[in-house]
Structure 1
Amino acid sequence: MEKEKTLSKASQSETKFASVQDYKIAYRSIGDGLPIILCNRFRGNLDDWDPAFLDSLAKKYRVITFNHKGLASSTGTPHETILGFGKDAIDLADALKIDKFILGGWSLGGWAAQVITTEFPNRITHTILIGTKPPGKVNHNLEEIFIKTAYIPDYTLEHETILFFEPTSEISRNAAVESHKRIQERENKDPKVRAELWEHYSKSHDDYINDPYNTREKLMKTNVPILIISANHEVCFPPENWFELNQKLPTATLITIAQTGHGPQHQYPEMIARYIDNFIESN
């Protein structure tokens, strides 16, 4: 007899809404313990986190994912600054009566996490950055294939493999298939971010590069422990940009993973969760 499939906690988690001023932030919460609030990537919604990664973290932590203001199932007008994107995490924490928390961010969410880490250091105990880049201008840019693929309206498995995995690696290609299956487990899907709203990401990107908050310099003086998780072939944000800051970031730990792409937490969900837990326990 075929074994009955058991859905993960993340796949079954309820979408809730936190009221912030005149709009609502859609979020999901699983697990107990110290709270981890995760900021999402370009075009990412509540369904775009691999449930195996969230479930692995939720064994020890309260894991909170959310949609930024005005995107997917959150209401309001989307932000046009990276500080605005990051401030959503603070506003959500306030609505949930969370004082201090671990802040995580993937890709564009990692930009938001860095700005918030330096603007609200008393609220953040640890910062986890996945597949992202430092603020300001960088010397190593994304590859053209990422831009061509990232703006395709509906991603297929092939597109996801290009964007978040390492297409030249059989290990990574196989992991892409499994991660895709896990993400598709959920029955009640979150709305996608509409294409006409994508320009808000571009404006926040310009804001991040211009760095009016002086985030880059503030990171060199922060006391908040920072874990940076990258890949040997980051089609979007090459780890070389972090290598150049290795001598300047006093609290940062950098991990790069072989045969992996822009979404290492999708390829190795349990392992990345263990790295994060070990880092938090040790700092």
Structure 2
Amino acid sequence: MISQSRRSVLATAAATAAVLSMPLAGQAAERSLSAPTKFLEAKGRRLAYRTVGTGRPLVLCNRFRGVLDLWDPAFIDGLADQGFQVITFDYSGLGKSTGEKSYNPMSLAQDTVDLIAGLGLEDFAIGGWSIGGITAQIVLAMTGDKASHVVLLATTPPGHLVKSGEQLFYDTAAKPGTNLDQFTTVFFEPSDAVSREASKRSFERIMARKEDRSPDVPADWAIAQIGNTPRNPLFPAEQILDLLKVTKTPILHLGGDHDIVMPVENWYALNNQLPTLHLITYPRVGHGPHHQYPELAAAQIGAFVKNTRKS
């Protein structure tokens, strides 16, 4: 039998080993913040991308006015800690990528498909935030359901909406540059103190990288691509909605309860119509749920991918 003192020593050693094996504070952000920019030549343009982590590839399509450095490092590295090879990139003509720039979702989806093909990815998951979520849904169709999973972040379903976005988004998104107030208004819940504090922390993490940053997307060009007032539908692609109604690919939508751009209510309106859709909604959260709760979002995405498969 093991003595009481011996058991105490073993327990202490085990606890110490567990602590030593945990990531140090800030280590996750450093992985993302130090990831080098790489380039893929495809069809006459150069796509800038970064990878963090190892495991199942998870390709993330960016938001409106998003570039490589505007993902929260805590979220990207949280996904890497869940066993993903996280791949982010700049769309053609934006950030560090060359080529003709466009916010036509078909063009964004072609960028994504070309990146997947150029990197030779197999057994990949596709994800996207905001307009990138629209892109991810099109990629699902373009790749013939080859994606193992679809992860949608604060985006819109195809077709008519039961609730449109707010004018506040279009007025705010049209302003040049990026500052904390603008960031909080669009992606968080300004009326909530917890959300405002989370916005500050996320903004600081995003701005921590000083070298090799992707240039911002010009605000005047960007707003001209989508218009300056809410539209309904935002994503007029009934064929994609038809696909979502029959796909066997597991789909997760992670949203906030006060999304001023793409209200989460539009996904709940499709209850019982989309057979593989999982919905998670965070309270007192705006258009950036995975930035307000980066570790939680990463863990829930990891659990979703690990515990679901094509039916």
How far apart are residue 200 of structure 1 and its match? 7.3
Aligned partner of 2:274 in structure 1 is: 249
AA of the residue aligned to 1:91: D
- Name 2:226's counterpart in structure 1: 202
Over aligned residue pairs, what C-alpha RMSD do you find? 2.1
Change (3 A) 1:170 1:199: closer
Q: Does structure 1 retain, via aligned residues, the 8 Å contact 2:95–2:216? A: yes
1:224 aligns with 249
Report deviation, 1:119. Answer: 2.8
Partner of 2:110: 87
3-state SS of 2:148 partner:
strand
Residues in 2 aligned to 1:15 and 1:277: alpha-carbon distance in whole angstroms: 25
- Quote how far apart the aligned CAs of 1:282 are: 1.0
C-alpha contact 2:69 2:214 (8 A) present in aligned 1: yes
Q: How many residues align?
A: 279
8 Å CA contact 1:111–1:208 kept in 2: the answer is no
Structure 1 residues 7-57: Cα deviation after superposition (integer angstroms, max 9, x where no partner): 521111101111101001100001000000000000000001000000010
CA distance in 1, matches of 2:143, 2:234: 17
**CA displacement 1:70-127 (0-9 Å, x = unmatched):** 1111100123531221121111011111133100000000000111112323321100
The alpha-carbon deviation at position 197 of structure 1 amounts to 3.8
Percent same amino acid among aligned pairs? 38
Q: What is the TM-score of this pair, normalised by structure 2? A: 0.85
What's the counterpart of residue 159 of structure 1? 182
Q: How does 1:25-64 map to 2 (within 5 A)?
A: 25-59=47-81, 60-64=83-87
> What is the alpha-carbon distance in structure 2 between the residues aligned to residue 275 and residue 182 of structure 1?
21
Alignment-mate amino acid for residue 160 of structure 2: K
Q: CA separation in 2, counterparts of 1:67 and 1:252?
A: 27
Q: TM-score, normalised by structure 1?
A: 0.93
**Alignment correspondent of 1:181:** 204
User: Aligned match of 1:169 in 183, 188, 192?
Assistant: 192
Corresponding residue of 2:296: 271
With over 3 angstroms needed to count, the CA separation of the structure-2 counterparts of 1:71 and 1:37, relative to structure 1, is same
2:32 alignment counterpart: 10
Q: Which runs of no fewer than 5 residues in structure 2 stay unpaired?
A: 1-24
Which residue of the partner structure matches residue 261 of structure 1?
A: 286
Which structure has the larger Rg? 2
Q: Which amino acid aligns with 1:193?
A: V
Q: Which residue matches 2:130?
A: 107
Q: 1:192 to 1:174 in 2, by over 3 A?
A: same
